[in-house]
Structure 1
Amino acid sequence: MAQKVIRIGTRDSELALWQAHTVQKKLNNLDYKTEIIAVKSQGDIILDKPLYELGITGIFTKTLDIAMINGQVDIAVHSMKDVPTVLPTGIVQAAVLERANTLDILVHKGNLDFLNESGTIATGSLRRQAQWWNKYPNHTVVDLRGNVNTRMQKLQENDWKGAIFAAAGLERINLKPENYINLDWMIPAPAQGAMVVVAMASDDFCRDAVAQLNDIETEVCTHIERQFLKTLEGGCTAPIGALARYNEIEDTIHFNGVLFSLDGKQKIEVNKIVPIEEWKKLGYNSAQEIFANGGTKLMATIKESLKK
């Protein structure tokens, strides 16, 4: 019997295709046959509305979910931070690849004097917007949508001082310019820098194949971050950052999680170092701590504001 060809579903942006080809190469090296099938997502098509108005959950993944459920593709490759914390029925996480750079960066034009004065920067992310305003309350933040190439082009065409990007995305497709600064004070999106492969729960062949690509350290850290996000947001979008890191020497996990108000003025943070054995509930417990410190009220306010 001929070996099944694994059809890899992906968005058709340059970054998404780079990610799909990376997975393809790894599977080919394990002697699996593969082909790439690219589709356009609603998140790539509708560029004139802020993400939170589109009902952000799954906007970049829905088209591929449908293609998988309909049997047009076998697996799908995503930037893990774009994937809803609850997967559709029948679809499972099959592997998380070793994580890349987790940092956000500011790509800027000209000098950085504006940081101490006033200026306009661009981002389509509520999390980045809130953290920027928290640090630079006198700045203007404008919405910026599209794939990384589109966003980079829009930055050049407008008179903004800069735009915020995930370092990993720009590094993967060699788009990271010389004029950038690392925003090491900004807490990244949960699972930023990680790629995830999803498959149908019933497809043992593809799940077994893809499982060989899994990086356990990245899987554990992104699980913690996404559990924190899922517990806090309950299906709503909010300015939430989370980063878990494994310390090999001490065999501990360092977790930093944060919830901001939309205007960045209010910040509720949790910082924890726990033994590795406690990882399974770390995200949940950290979110409960945020709730206890005013997060319940803040999340209610955010949900109310986004409805308007």
Structure 2
Amino acid sequence: MIVRIATRGSKLALAQAREVAEALRSLRIESEFVIVRTKGDRHRDRPVKELGPGIFEREVNLTLLEGKADLAVHSMKDVPTVVHEDLVLAAVLPRASPLDVLVSRVPLDRLLEGAKIGTGSPRRRGALLRLYPNLRFSDIRGNVDTRLEKLRRGECDGIMVAKAALERLGLDCVGFHCKTFLPDEVVPAAGQGAIAVFATKDSPYLSVLRKMNHERSYLEVSLERSILRELGAGCSTPLGVHSKIVGSEVRVLVGLYESDPVILDRRYDVSDLRSIPRDIVSQLKR
């Protein structure tokens, strides 16, 4: 039997789908891709906030719900916190770097006042403004390699991208300067760096997917998404949430990058995972 994997057709999405296919192959299961063109792919000239939530996810999951695929693969950060009731997050692969990278034509400390950074992310804009208040911003859409090409053409002075995307595409900073931000400098998006595998609740592959699942990564991204859900935050909220489990302790970073940014850095016992989202929200509302 061949497992059908629903995925977008971008280079990054296919690279992620191949990671899932390799994990299945290690369990002696073959697979094939079902390529889906999403709303986000069809309207690359429009800002993400105008298109609403789930623009890279909805049609891929619909393919799964319609029985045209067996699994759906996503960048975890692109998946809304509420998905269709018949779907389940069945596996998370070992998480790649969750960090953000500023790719620029000159070193960051030489960027002129008023330099223009291309990003459509309210979180990235707010985080950079907190560190470098003299920067300007322009909306920029497209795949990572498209955005790098716009940078080469001088349409902006820098772009902000996920380090995991650069690594998965095998891209480096040759010809550019890259500044990688630590989580307490720029709090990553919830789920950033993680590959999510969704299936239907009655899928015959759930037991197989459990074998693929990386438990720590699953717990971290689930906690981050629970905090988003508790806050009622969406893709237009300038919010970063990052967690890291080490031993019996979990460190949680939250960055709310509004006009008066709020950064929380808290540590909890892993046994308290269920109560953490409510505690974080209560602290943000003080």
TM-score grouping bracket, smaller chain normalisation: over 0.9
Among 245, 262, 265, the alignment partner of 1:268 is 262
TM-score w.r.t. the length of structure 1 is 0.88
More helix by share: 1
Among 154, 157, 162, the alignment partner of 2:158 is 162
Q: 1:158/1:233 Cα in 2 relative to 1: closer, same or farther (>3 Å)?
A: farther
Give the Cα–Cα distance (whole angstroms) in 1 for the partners of residues 45 and 155 of structure 2: 19
Aligned pair count?
282
Tell whether the 8 Å contact from 2:150 to 2:156 is kept in structure 1 after alignment: no
State the partner residue of 2:99.
103
Tell whether the 8 Å contact from 1:114 to 1:161 is kept in structure 2 after alignment: no
Tell whether the 8 Å contact from 1:224 to 1:281 is kept in structure 2 after alignment: no
* 1:220 maps to 2:219: yes
Q: 1:204-250: per-residue Cα shift (whole Å, max 9, x none)?
A: x22112111111111111111111111113556300101111122xx
State the partner residue of 2:244.
245
TM-score w.r.t. the length of structure 2 is 0.94
Tell whether the 8 Å contact from 2:231 to 2:281 is kept in structure 1 after alignment: yes
* 1:64 maps to 2:63: no
Give the Cα–Cα distance (whole angstroms) in 2 for the partners of residues 282 and 78 of structure 1: 25
Among 3, 8, 19, the alignment partner of 1:22 is 19
Q: 1:149/1:268 Cα in 2 relative to 1: closer, same or farther (>3 Å)?
A: same
* 1:146 maps to 2:142: yes
Give the Cα–Cα distance (whole angstroms) in 2 for the partners of residues 25 and 111 of structure 1: 37
Give the Cα–Cα distance (whole angstroms) in 2 for the partners of residues 74 and 159 of structure 1: 41
Shift of 1:129: 0.7
Among 13, 30, 39, the alignment partner of 2:36 is 39
State the partner residue of 1:305.
none
5 Å-filtered alignment, 1:72-83, equals 72-83=68-79
Give the Cα–Cα distance (whole angstroms) in 1 for the partners of residues 275 and 218 of structure 2: 14
SS of the aligned residue for 2:251 comes to: strand
Tell whether the 8 Å contact from 1:58 to 1:84 is kept in structure 2 after alignment: yes
AA matched with 1:49: R
Tell whether the 8 Å contact from 1:226 to 1:283 is kept in structure 2 after alignment: no
Q: 1:195/1:50 Cα in 2 relative to 1: closer, same or farther (>3 Å)?
A: same
* 1:286 maps to 2:280: yes
Unmatched 5+ residue regions in structure 2?
none
Give the Cα–Cα distance (whole angstroms) in 2 for the partners of residues 236 and 157 of structure 1: 28
AA matched with 1:187: V
State the partner residue of 1:181.
179
Q: 1:61/1:140 Cα in 2 relative to 1: closer, same or farther (>3 Å)?
A: same
Q: CA RMSD in A?
A: 1.5
